[in-house]
Amino acid sequence: MSLEGRVAVVTGSGRGLGLAYAQELARQGAAVVVNDVDEATAAEAVASIESAGGRAVAVVAPVGPTETAQRLVQTAVDTYGRLDILVTNAGVLRDTVLWKMSDDDFDTVINVHLRGTFTCVREAATYMRANEIPGRIICIGSPTGQRGNFGQTNYAAAKAGIVGMVRTWALELKKAGITANAVIPVAATAMTATVPYFAAAVEADEKGEPMPAFFRHDLGFGTSDDVAGLIAYLASDAAAAVTGQAIGIGGDRLQLWSHPEPVATAYREGGWTHDALQTGFDDAVGGLQSVGEKFPPLPEELQRP
């Protein structure tokens, strides 16, 4: 077991992707602090880990406040003697288009995803640096944060912000030997279960059957367990040189997302005036970048009414 003797905190790990991460970390030998806002859900998650021979304890609290971050780290240290791994997975959705999005819709998502990631990483990194632990920070992003998605202003902002913070933390924590990476998962979740395009894949998953190859290979869309292996890998010694990266995973596909780089550069003596841009912008940039996720047509046999 590659994580024997390590201790991990996984936020939002009562169900779904977070639970898969916690279970895989425990399977690889780590003791895990499970986190959820619902006591019964957290208890079930702990029981599932313990029944498989692992070690786990729960902290029931909403992610976002500094006090929750402190409780998570302190519980790891008090219960298991140390903290080596933090996975920030907790999140909520408040989807609606821009002109209908309320302040509360925006603030709630930003508070849990972005502020919650910040407060938890700050607390964990402070502990790791003070105790000279070459820890692992793994933050969960989303394709929405990379490319945008209709109706998800708040979620896109939070997930893009997480990747920006990870790149910064990789620089700041390098000297301490602490890695920081973002994982961009694509998997069957409560959210994708409501999307007709994924109906055949979700249907197969619910029946315990393999997902069609179109989803697993062509779309890189799979189960929560397909993502969990990457979490455990990034938490291990084998990934000690991997930091500051945004890594996509889902189904049969593994991806390394690029850092934003200029795709076109043009110079004009005297600068780019309004008139110059009116006549020269198209030639200068050579084509615009696409936005949003674009899916290929579903094969006929996978279409559902």
Residue 245: HSE in the Cβ half-sphere, 13 Å Cα cutoff: 18
Burial of 203 (0-12, 13-18, 19+ CB in 10 A): middle
Distance CA 38, CA 277 (A): 55
Contact present, 6 and 235 (Cβ < 8 Å): yes
Is 155 part of the annotated catalytic residue set?
yes
DSSP state of 120: H
Identify the active-site residue in 127, 155, 197, 233: 155
Give just the sign of the alpha carbon dihedral 131, 132, 134, 137. Answer: positive
Element spanning 87, H or E: strand 85-88
Q: What residue has token string 């780019």?
A: 272
DSSP 143-180: HHHHH--TTBHHHHHHHHHHHHHHHHHHHHHGGGT-EE
Instruction: Give me the active site residues, please.
Output: 155
